[in-house]
Amino acid sequence: MRDLPNVSQFIPMFRSASRLFLLLCVSTFPVDAQPFHFNEKKAPENLQDIEAIQKALISALQKARDATVCIDIGDGSGSGVIISADGLVLTAAHVSTGVGKEVTVIMEDGRKLKAETLGLVADVDAAMVKITEKGPFPFAPLGKDDTPKLGDWVFSLGHSGGFDKERGSVVRLGRLVRIANSTIQTDCALIGGDSGGPLFDMSGKVIGIHSRVGEQLQVNMHVPLKEFTNNWDGMLRSEFIGEGPFAQKPEKGSGLLGVATEARSAGGLKVLKVGRETPAEKAGIKEGDVLLKFNGTALEKREQLQELIKEMAAGDKVEIEGLRGGKPQTFKLKLGERN
């Protein structure tokens, strides 16, 4: 690892420029072709170097901010970044916390959109979220897995401390100070709420996602993009990949449907009672309905349905085929949490 300068030496120099970026938020300059010459220097050597960094940041910032979102999970919030026009979002596993959860994505302009958590990788803190409303949405391009180099200038975005429309997402400038197999470290200053937000190279391409905030503001870990690309298909299929520490695997047997049934001599189970505010009630199942199949398995005994549910966890998706008044019905729902 080569020695790097302490970026704090240059913070006063950049402070006035950064304020200008946040006030104007206007892209008026073209981006230098890669590679940026300032990445090859241990420290800015003159005013031209500082102006080149400023020019790159101004050019990339607005599009990056448009794609950066707040993710509201109900009892807290984190950040994320949209990386496709149809609303695919990258974030951290400890922000999404699970698979198949309903969350709210808040855009830079304050719009609130319905979304659902897809898959996650629990041991490296990577996760996907999908906006379920119709796009297109602004999005940020992805960098290449092997693009970041030690010492490169980067910038981070995130909704520090939660969404604030008047302030918007917060930008921090820094450098890559360590690159390891499953993490990269920068000296971009982050705080709570930034988790899951994007780390950009100076051309505005996503190269990582904020993971762990250090005890010191300028010691922060990010999930490199390659950890997403390595598990891309599984996350799109909403798989829970790996074992903690960033997310806990759903516990088998924790799922709740919310119906009382009895077997019918003609086959299937007759619904005797539907619990209030249960997944069954929310899916439209009513007393008197007949449940014929549970995820494709024909139902014959009440105990059989109980055993099938015991093999599942809260949040698992279920499809039930049944009858109401002799007419076929299909119910799709997610199992709730058994208390």
pLDDT in tens, 253-288: 888 999 999 999 989 999 999 999 899 999 999 999
Given CA atoms 229, 233, 239, 241 in this order, what sign does their dihedral have?
negative
Residue 15: exposure state from Cβ atoms within 10 A (0-12, 13-18, ≥19): exposed
DSSP 280: H
Predicted local distance difference test score (pLDDT) of residue 229: 94
CB atoms within 10 A of CB 181: 9
Could you give the CA distance from residue 246 to residue 123 in angstroms, rounded to a whole number? Answer: 6
CB contact at 8 A, 251 and 244: no
Residue 77: pLDDT above 70? yes
Predicted local distance difference test score (pLDDT) of residue 144: 81
- Token pair of 246, please? 């960033």
CB atoms within 10 A of CB 270: 18
Could you give the CA distance from residue 280 to residue 274 in angstroms, rounded to a whole number? Answer: 7
- Token pair of 330, please? 């299909």
Could you give the CA distance from residue 230 to residue 225 in angstroms, rounded to a whole number? Answer: 9
Predicted local distance difference test score (pLDDT) of residue 34: 57
10 Cβ partners below 8 Å, 6+ apart? 43, 44, 50
Predicted local distance difference test score (pLDDT) of residue 151: 92
135 Cβ partners below 8 Å, 6+ apart? 85, 86, 87
Residue 11: pLDDT above 50? no
- Token pair of 176, please? 């890559």
Predicted local distance difference test score (pLDDT) of residue 123: 92
Could you give the CA distance from residue 149 to residue 67 in angstroms, rounded to a whole number? Answer: 24
CB contact at 8 A, 32 and 181: no
41-64: average pLDDT: 93
CB contact at 8 A, 329 and 321: yes
Predicted local distance difference test score (pLDDT) of residue 268: 94
Which is more confidently placed, 212 or 175? 175
Predicted local distance difference test score (pLDDT) of residue 113: 97
Residue 13: pLDDT above 90? no
* Amino acid, single-letter form, for residue 139: F
Which is more confidently placed, 215 or 163? 163
In which region does residue 162 sit, left (phi positive, over 0), alpha (psi from -120 to 50) or beta (all else)? left
